[in-house]
Chain A
Amino acid sequence: MEEFDWTSIPGALPILADGMLITLEITATAILIGILWGTVLALARLSGNRPLAWLAAAYVNLFRAVPLVMVILWFYLIVPTLLQRWFGVSQSSDIRMISALVAFALFESAYYAEIIRAGVQSVPKGQVDAAFALGMPYHLTMRLVVLPQAFRNMVPLLLTQAIILFQDTSLVYVIGLADFFGAAYKVGDRDGRLVELLLFAGAVYFILCFGASLLVWQLQKKYST
């Protein structure tokens, strides 16, 4: 077996950095929209409103029952067509990014919804009673009393989900988007150093995710006492 040659990595760093930027952009957007939309879905599922709860449950179960790769591809095939039809936007590489962002945000919301639902249910019922007894309507009770406590309980789970999401963004390679993994693959392919580049990319993923996991672990220890 020939020896490893890492020389193409320093020169590739700007490209890899651009890739990392895309990875982080997708991750951040999916976390932000995922938590917001996930909260809406969780509250819908917990609401007494039957049709609303059913719709939210259907949404969550649908997205949790299909592979992420397929969702990314679907949105890549559907979103540009819809954008073209509704807004007259032309098909370009930018649309790949938009479709990836939409796919991840909608997919992750389903997972966040379940985490948030469990978090809301972890807040004792007496807290809701106390808020109601002080005259708070439902939305104030949720916003001021239940959700702040729920999110505090959920921090470790939300972060764990974010770490999984960060790794899952590499799946955008199926639509040819150059995220960190995609960039590493392209450079490796170009320079004939695929093994080195992928080992390097793997090491970067490992350091970031393992570091974040340690952080979550620390938080968990802190919150469980």
Chain B
Amino acid sequence: MSMIQIENVSKWYGDFQVLTDCSTHVTEGEVVVVCGPSGSGKSTLIRCVNGLEAIQQGRIVVNGTALADPTTNLSKLRAHVGMVFQNFELFPHMSVTDNLTIAQIKVLGRSTAEALARGLAMLDRVGLKAQASKFPGALSGGQQQRVAIARALAMDPICMLFDEPTSALDPEMVNEVLDVMVELATEGMTMMCVTHEMGFARKVADRVIFMDHGRIVEDASKDDFFGTPRAERAQLFLSKILQH
């Protein structure tokens, strides 16, 4: 069954069309990597999946719930869709522990003890149990992003969205975040990842989507994509990005 269904989605910022007739899907347990040059609309597309951006045409269905349906409670849906951002977006006025537990308590209605246990378990999973009482500002970028992943996982999401999770990181910190993501992928988490990390795509992606100028120009299995991408634009992009 499709966890995420994107059907003929178009979006405009005023007169400027950022997404044109995008259709794809992510099935349960699948890892889909979305890549493309900057300004191609890939971040916008993933932000549309949990309704952070509105669409003007088309339909997005997550776990059987249509986002545009007036009876849909967007907050409720988002609570079960984990999202990780380029700039981490931990809450700077809260300790790591509070970052991990606040939404569990206030949104899911878990008890403090339950939320703490779940949050610390996830923190342990990303290898940062010792940092529980620190504030985000005292952590490195890589550590902050791992906490952000733990925060999303603590909500027991049905799928995870990653919006360029390593783009803001210093090179030496990229791998610690990718390792966590690879582990998640191999454990069967449904993932949609906007990233330039082709090594990550090669390792764990089931499918790769290539976007250019707001269109999905390639949507292929990993082997097909890295073997013989059909779109010329995708070939060019790959040759540039795989040089180093």
Chain B residues numbered 120-170 whose CB sits less than 8 Å from any CB in chain A = 148, 151-152, 155
Interface bits B31-69 vs A (CB < 8 Å: 1, else 0): 000000000000000010010100000000000000000
User: B189 at the A/B interface (Cβ < 8 Å)?
Assistant: no
- The complex places the Cα of A132 from the Cα of B52 at a distance, in Å, of 8
Q: A134-B155, A144-B102, A144-B106 are in contact. Are A129 and B80 (CB under 8 A)?
A: no
- The complex places the Cα of A133 from the Cα of B79 at a distance, in Å, of 7
User: B91 at the A/B interface (Cβ < 8 Å)?
Assistant: yes
Query: Would you call B92 and A133 a contact (CB within 8 A)?
Result: no
Interface bits B69-106 vs A (CB < 8 Å: 1, else 0): 00000011111111101010111110000000011001
User: B117 at the A/B interface (Cβ < 8 Å)?
Assistant: no
User: A137 at the A/B interface (Cβ < 8 Å)?
Assistant: yes
User: B107 at the A/B interface (Cβ < 8 Å)?
Assistant: yes
Q: A144-B102, A144-B106 are in contact. Are A135 and B89 (CB under 8 A)?
A: no
Question: How far, in Å, is B145 (CB) from chain A's closest CB?
Answer: 12
Query: Would you call B78 and A132 a contact (CB within 8 A)?
Result: yes
User: A127 at the A/B interface (Cβ < 8 Å)?
Assistant: yes
- The complex places the Cα of A78 from the Cα of B82 at a distance, in Å, of 55
- The complex places the Cα of A147 from the Cα of B131 at a distance, in Å, of 26
Query: Would you call A133 and B93 a contact (CB within 8 A)?
Result: no
| Binding site secondary structure of chain A | helix
User: A88 at the A/B interface (Cβ < 8 Å)?
Assistant: no
Other-chain contact of B89, A130, A136, A137, A148 (Cβ < 8 Å): A130
Residues of B within 8 A of A127 (CB): 89, 91
Residues of B within 8 A of A132 (CB): 50, 52, 75, 78
- The complex places the Cα of A167 from the Cα of B78 at a distance, in Å, of 49
User: A11 at the A/B interface (Cβ < 8 Å)?
Assistant: no
Query: Would you call A130 and B85 a contact (CB within 8 A)?
Result: yes
Query: Would you call B76 and A129 a contact (CB within 8 A)?
Result: no
Chain A residues numbered 85-143 whose CB sits less than 8 Å from any CB in chain B = 124, 126-127, 129-137, 140
Residues of A within 8 A of B47 (CB): 129
Query: Would you call B50 and A136 a contact (CB within 8 A)?
Result: no
User: A152 at the A/B interface (Cβ < 8 Å)?
Assistant: yes
Other-chain contact of A129, B89, B103, B106 (Cβ < 8 Å): B89
User: A149 at the A/B interface (Cβ < 8 Å)?
Assistant: yes
- The complex places the Cα of A140 from the Cα of B75 at a distance, in Å, of 11
Q: Total interface residues on A, using CB and 8 Å?
A: 18
Query: Would you call B79 and A135 a contact (CB within 8 A)?
Result: yes
Query: Would you call B93 and A136 a contact (CB within 8 A)?
Result: no
Query: Would you call A126 and B87 a contact (CB within 8 A)?
Result: yes
Question: How far, in Å, is B11 (CB) from chain A's closest CB?
Answer: 16
Residue of A130, A134, A137, A149 contacting most chain B CB atoms (<10 Å):
A134
- The complex places the Cα of A135 from the Cα of B79 at a distance, in Å, of 4
Q: A126-B89, A145-B91, A149-B93 are in contact. Are A133 and B106 (CB under 8 A)?
A: no
Residues of B within 8 A of A136 (CB): 75, 103, 106-107
Query: Would you call B85 and A135 a contact (CB within 8 A)?
Result: no
Question: How far, in Å, is B168 (CB) from chain A's closest CB?
Answer: 11
- The complex places the Cα of A136 from the Cα of B107 at a distance, in Å, of 6
Residues of A within 8 A of B87 (CB): 124, 126
Query: Would you call A134 and B103 a contact (CB within 8 A)?
Result: yes
Identity of the chain A residue whose Cβ is nearest the Cβ of B80 in the assembled complex: A135
Query: Would you call B103 and A135 a contact (CB within 8 A)?
Result: yes
Question: How far, in Å, is A75 (CB) from chain B's closest CB?
Answer: 38
- The complex places the Cα of A87 from the Cα of B92 at a distance, in Å, of 49
Query: Would you call B83 and A133 a contact (CB within 8 A)?
Result: yes
Interface bits B13-24 vs A (CB < 8 Å: 1, else 0): 000000000000
Query: Would you call A129 and B93 a contact (CB within 8 A)?
Result: no
Q: A126-B85, A140-B107, A152-B93 are in contact. Are A133 and B50 (CB under 8 A)?
A: yes
The interface of chain A, by Cβ under 8 A from chain B, is 124, 126-127, 129-137, 140, 144-145, 148-149, 152
11 intermolecular pairs with C-beta atoms under 8 Å apart = A126-B87, A129-B52, A129-B85, A132-B50, A132-B52, A132-B78, A133-B152, A134-B78, A135-B75, A135-B79, A140-B106
Extra inter-chain contacts (16) besides given A136-B103, A140-B107, CB under 8 Å: A126-B85, A126-B87, A126-B89, A127-B89, A129-B52, A130-B89, A130-B91, A132-B50, A134-B78, A134-B102, A134-B107, A135-B78, A135-B103, A140-B106, A149-B91, A152-B93
Smallest CB-CB A-B distances: 7 pairs:
A135-B79, A130-B89, A134-B103, A133-B83, A135-B107, A137-B75, A126-B89
